[in-house]
Amino acid sequence: MSHFVLEIGVEELPARFLASLERELHDRFAALFDEHGLTFDSLTVNTTPRRAVVHARGLLSSTPVREEVALGPSVKAAYDAEGNPTKAALGFARGQGVDVSALFRQETPKGEYVAVRKTVGGVSASSIIAEAAPSIIASLPFAKRMHWSPSHFLFARPLRWVVALMDCDVIPFTVADVQSGRMTTGHRVHGRGPFEVACADDFDRVMAEKCGVVLSGAARRKIVVDGGNELARKVGGHILWKESLLDEVQGLSEHPEPILGDFDPSFLELPSVVLLTSMETHQKSFGVAGEDGRLLPHFLTVANLTSREPEVVKKGWERVLRARLEDARFYWNTDMKASFDVWKEKLDHVIFLGPLGSMGDKCRRLSELCRWLAEQPGVKRAAEVNPESAAVAGRCAKADLVSQMVGEFDTLQGIMGGIYGHKMGLDPVAADAIAEQYLPAGPDTPVPSTDLGALLSMADKADTLVGCFGLGNIPTGAADPFALRRCALGIARILIEKGYRLPVEELFAKAQSLYSDGIRWKLEKPEALAKLNDFFAGRVKNYFLTQGNDTLLVEAVMNAGCSDVWAASRRLAALVTESGKPGFADNAQTFKRVANILRKQGAGVTGEYSRELLAEEPETALADALDAMTARFDELWAQDRFDELLALMDGVRPTVDAFFNGVMVMAEDEKVRANRLNLLQVLLSRMGRLADFSALQM
């Protein structure tokens, strides 16, 4: 067994590239080894800003050796009448690299053929890697790649060196005019090098002892966390760790050194979110909070070296952060001299989206749409929202876009609007809603905690969806420049998680009606709404599928309608539960048969049947069962008791089966046939509200 190591040395890579680079290298070398039958004990990949390192330990040094039988021409074609080998036999032997005397006869189902035994495998792992490594490296995907060499080689950053060793031997190959070898380069300050790596087993030791590099991202992360926590304890606080920033920080360093800096306590008069955003965005630093949760006048940053003069480094970071915080304080003070009335006027000069008018126009639409939402019965059943507060929230929703603070920190839009709203005497409920209007920001972020925040978020997203679809800006493939998929998902999640019973087509129609008549739409309004409703249904379906639900069950529920998204989600949950019970397959098969018959023969069927035409006992029994079931069904349907509704299948299915077995649905008598179809329609008109059973495959 051997130890293979590959190091790809580059100019500094962006931290966001490292995780995907590790995955790609691992998967590509694992696939290479698997293709050639090269087993290994472990395969690990580590990255730093300046290198990606692959270790394959316990690697089979050569491909397994095995014997194969290669068939040649038939015996009749291989030998003439005298038993001498023909040109066919001679050519086959030559092609296999053996003497013709090595051929033997092999019986097969198709007859007797000549064959030869040959040994395959035994190819060295080094030669396989030498051939494959250049293409693996060259094809690594990055969000952005660049040219830099005469060969126009594409890579995220320029390649500077490559180490490739199998045990103590160099694996020779060339990529981007760089020849592989055993010379590596270390940290720019703590071990510049170059240094020779004698054997693969020595690589990690050389990195740690000579190069001054912490190769493992997990190890760098631990150094930052442990060191930061210790420094914070000394000032009576704790670090406000942010996972995404921690990932970025460990990816920016090869030799992390946590540093605790200080700033003037007077800056604590600023909202904590402003201080943290300034630290995290510009300085890649973490805030420090006390036991009461309030910020302390300290911050944690991470240097990429251990300085001989740490106080000088600390002062440098403090000086830069102070300048940033001074800017933030200036923006805060300037904004506090303004007002929402001034900002609302400025919004009339801020374009929303091309022909759709200004942000002022959008806010006026949002005001009306929020008021309308607050007055909807399906919303009022789940929440009590003052329509006047809703109107205020909509009208002021985008005001902070023209504030100084949001102009500098765009990630604070909405959040600052909420803070300024409380400071400037806005309706507190409206201010809270403004702060939550952009939630949910993705599939894993929470929906707004307040009901008015949820209504404002839906109104904002619906307004954007309607406007973009009217202009023909409909997502295609992976292209979605206006994040319309996220808008649709946000509305769906709010409806489901908040329990609002609101037909989405009514929401979109109302949003469309609030646009002015002067807009030049690319699509006619009915066409745009139809496309939007189909798009939204597709996003709801996708959301259900991403929750791990069976595709056929999702199809069945969606085909029954998803206008009421909350109800669709509950019907799906009930169907998933019911599908796991004994007898569900039989029930579903029966109702699928009903649906299929009516789909083919049910033109003009109304569900109105006559008892006078019920001549057979099975159809009379079915009519009695349906009378009992429909009353119970309508009662349960009004109460959204979907589990019990699906359970009704157990009671009615035997009667339906007896009906199919006892009568001919498609009777020759036209009136009898229509009556029996209407009988089935009564059943389908109820159970079809729950799911489209014809979509199930049983």
- Residues 81-126: pLDDT tens digits? 888 888 988 899 888 888 888 888 888 888 899 898 887 777 899 9
CATH code at 571-695: 1.10.730
Amino acid at 272: S
Strand, coil or helix: 244: helix
Residue 267 · residue 317 · CB < 8 Å: no
Residue 149 · residue 191 · CB < 8 Å: no
- Rounded to an integer, what distance in angstroms lies between the CA atom of residue 47 and that of residue 207? 12
pLDDT of residue 74 exceeding 80, the answer is: yes
160-169, 358-367, 647-656: least confidently modelled range: 647-656
pLDDT of residue 543 exceeding 70, the answer is: yes
Quote the pLDDT of residue 602: 65
Quote the pLDDT of residue 405: 95
Joined tokens for residue 101: 């005397």
CATH code at 2-62+124-209: 3.30.70
Domain 342-548: which topology?
Hypothetical protein af1432 (1.10.3210)
Average pLDDT of the segment spanning 43-51: 96
pLDDT of residue 469 exceeding 90, the answer is: yes
Q: How many other C-beta atoms can be found within 10 angstroms of the C-beta atom of residue 45?
A: 21
Local confidence band at 698 (pLDDT 50, 70, 90 cut-offs): low
The continuous run of DSSP H or E covering 112 comes out as: strand 111-120
Average pLDDT of the segment spanning 204-218: 95
- Rounded to an integer, what distance in angstroms lies between the CA atom of residue 553 and that of residue 693? 9
pLDDT of residue 66 exceeding 90, the answer is: no
DSSP letters, 442-509, are STTSPPPSSHHHHHHHHHHHHHHHHHHHHTT---BTTB-TT-HHHHHHHHHHHHHHHT----HHHHHH
CB neighbour class for 11 (10 Å; exposed up to 12, middle 13-18, buried from 19): middle
Counted residue by residue, the chain has a size of 698
Whose structure tokens read 């693996």? 136
- Residues 215-264: pLDDT tens digits? 999 999 999 999 999 999 999 999 999 999 999 999 999 999 999 999 99
Radius of gyration of the chain (CA): 36
Quote the pLDDT of residue 121: 72
- Residues 590-640: pLDDT tens digits? 888 888 888 887 677 787 888 888 888 888 888 888 888 888 888 999 999
pLDDT of residue 165 exceeding 80, the answer is: yes
Quote the pLDDT of residue 422: 96
Q: Using alpha carbons only, what angle is made at residue 416 by residues 412 and 417, rounded to the nearest 5 degrees? A: 125
Domains of the chain, by residue range, sit at 2-62+124-209, 66-120, 217-335, 342-548, 571-695
Q: At what angle do helices 387-396 and 451-470 cross, to 10 degrees?
A: 50
CB neighbour class for 263 (10 Å; exposed up to 12, middle 13-18, buried from 19): buried
pTM of the model: 0.81
Which percentage of the chain shows pLDDT scores above 70? 100
**How would you label 227-262 residue by residue, b for 16+ Cβ within 10 Å and e otherwise?**
bbeebbeeeebbbbeeeebbbbbbbbbbbbbbbbbb
